[in-house]
Amino acid sequence: MSLPPQIPDPETPWIDIVFLGGLGEIGLNMMVFESAESLIIIDAGIMFPEDYMLGIDVVIPDFSYIRERGPKVAALVLTHGHEDHIGAVPFLLKEMPMPVYGTPLTLELLKEKLKEHRLLEQAELRLIQPRQRLAIGPFEFDFIRVAHSIVDGVGFALATPVGTFIHSGDFKIDQTPMSGEVTDLNRFAGYGEKGVLALLSDSTNAERPGYTMSERDIGETLENLFREASGRIIIAVFASHIPRLQQIVQLAAKFDRKLLFNGKSMTINVRIAKELGYLKIPPEQEISVSQLKHLPDAEVVIVTTGSQGEPMSALARIALDSHKHIHIKAGDLVILSSKFIPGNEKAISTVINNLYRLGAEVVYEEVADIHVSGHASQEELKLLINLTKPQYFIPIHGELRHLIKHTQIAQCLGIAAERVLLAHNGSRLRFTAGSGRVVDQVEVGRVFVDGKGVGDVSQIVLRDRRHLAEDGLVIALVAVDAQEGKIISGPDLVSRGFVFEEEQTPMLNTAREIIQEIVSRALTEPTQDWLEIQIQIGKALRKYFFKLLERRPMILPLVLTL
């Protein structure tokens, strides 16, 4: 249970900000603005599973805090359409239907997810646009355009009874974006002149000095690669990166190449972006898989998913030569037009090595400038702070080192240390007129999604999965007739992932003797506690296997009584 808010005076207006995910980690972004009568949720994102989360599909935030305040929940507001901001929305709406506000592309991407979860018909989706004002309870939003690696991103100014909050969204200050969507600095500066109580700002690139490169800056690198390629070009890119896709379309046209879009999310996002007018592709430039074999290699560009080495992605299957239609051939140039997200390095390296093994040439971020970040670097972060001139500063979105570096940047610009609020997941920040502080910690956590199961996989289950994966399993089975006092079947041992049984017969025979001795001794007793005897068998086998091999397999002893 979360701690109740400490309200010093019921007559004093207050606003709480509670972080339910996205601080000290990449992904899982979710926070709330809460007053005495209303609660607004900002984003509901997922995190992709880490290595130790065996069998887990995605990770979503724990909704307990919101669940406890159900009647107060007024709406969900989405800043943009990336998975780490909208991926958990279907799971949230299954529990608590509510109005969802988002920009055109954000809502269209969300609709595809809601279709998969059979929630689209009952979903209440409401369109917003930059510079649109929206009143929900005591909150008044003013949405502000920001440049990012996906179009239709927004931050916002939030007017409340205690003051104005600025939320940057995921942003960078790109003066020449491919999409033409520049960050609306005038709007941010206008609020700085009026007075900003607190600025919540994206910290993802707080370690990087200078400015983030413009999307157009990689155009020269990509153009040179297109010019020099003599065979097919296969480009792996985030399916949501519409500006990058438009660059590829333009280069393909310049070098007389046809385009094949491959991968489920890629084809869906391309369709949506074309329908909204964000992606312009001449119809004659696109080809289908069936047309691929009829074109010379020098006239083909394949745009696919899988830039992070995802096991079931199109590029991963191509690299394993298991794709149904696309097979690597000598002369192919593969471009991974994305950065290596921390944690994915090994998977990406495996894909790169497999592509080389099949005869392709591979270009990636370590050998060429083929990707730029969608997040602001230090000088841009400083500019936003100076424009908005907040009384309080709160770094958001990023690992702990990013948040701490961002606090240092704010302090270097003259914001007093006591007015820089370093929050963590679960932090509740209380603001009254002209003041703010961290007041307590609420219960937060991660919920694992495994297939159709949501939250039914615990840390204990993950521990068992790791145990099985690392050490294997030994099942010890014996059947006894307790009344006759004899063993009627077994002991039998089944080993999986521990030792190859036929090669370890002497060791397993000794293990059977250990089991037989324990069971035979128990059968001579007037009464038997067979659960306790199973525990004894497990302990004895663990001790024996560790002494012999220094391994700790999971032991599953079963005594069947007749």
CB neighbours of residue 87 within 10 Å: 26
Same-domain status, 274 and 359 = yes
Res 54: pLDDT: 47
Coil, helix or strand at residue 448: strand
Same-domain status, 44 and 175 = yes
Res 504: pLDDT: 60
For residue 484, count CB atoms less than 10 angstroms from its CB and return exposed for 0-12, middle for 13-18, buried for 19 or more.
exposed
CATH code for the domain in which residue 25 is found: 3.60.15.10
Examine the residue annotation and report whether 202 is marked as an active-site residue of this protein: yes
Same-domain status, 243 and 283 = yes
Both tokens of 480, joined, read 């006894």
Res 464: pLDDT: 53
- DSSP 3-state helix, strand, coil percentages of the chain (rounded to 5)? 35, 25, 40
Q: Is residue 314 part of a domain?
A: yes
pLDDT at 90 over 50: yes
CATH code for the domain in which residue 497 is found: 3.10.20.580
CB neighbours of residue 141 within 10 Å: 22
Between 463 and 520, the more confident residue is 520
For residue 385, give its domain range: 15-211+373-454
- Compute the average pLDDT of residues 91-118: 94
CB neighbours of residue 536 within 10 Å: 17
For the stretch 202-246, pLDDT in tens is 999 999 999 998 888 888 889 999 999 999 999 999 898 998 999
- Partnered with residue 147 across adjacent β-strands are 172
Catalytic one among 62, 142, 174, 202?
202
Same-domain status, 177 and 58 = yes
Between 293 and 57, the more confident residue is 293
Res 143: pLDDT: 98
Nearest alpha carbon to residue 446 among 53, 1, 3: 53
CB neighbours of residue 273 within 10 Å: 24
- Model confidence at 502, pLDDT cuts 50, 70, 90, reads low
- Compute the average pLDDT of residues 467-475: 67
Element (DSSP H or E) covering residue 59: strand 58-61
pLDDT at 494 over 80: no
Same-domain status, 165 and 29 = yes
Same-domain status, 443 and 526 = no
Q: What angle do CA 39, 44, 50 make, to 5 degrees?
A: 140
Q: What angle do CA 147, 152, 156 make, to 5 degrees?
A: 75
Res 70: pLDDT: 87
Both tokens of 538, joined, read 């497990």
Among positive and negative, which fits the CA dihedral 410, 412, 415, 417? positive
Examine the residue annotation and report whether 406 is marked as an active-site residue of this protein: no
How many angstroms separate the CA atoms of 66 and 29, rounded?
A: 14
Please give the tally of structural domains in the chain.
Answer: 3
Catalytic one among 82, 375, 397, 406?
375
Distance of CA 82 to the CA centre of its chain: 9
- Compute the average pLDDT of residues 415-436: 94
Res 12: pLDDT: 85
Q: What angle do CA 13, 18, 21 make, to 5 degrees?
A: 165
Model-level pTM? 0.79
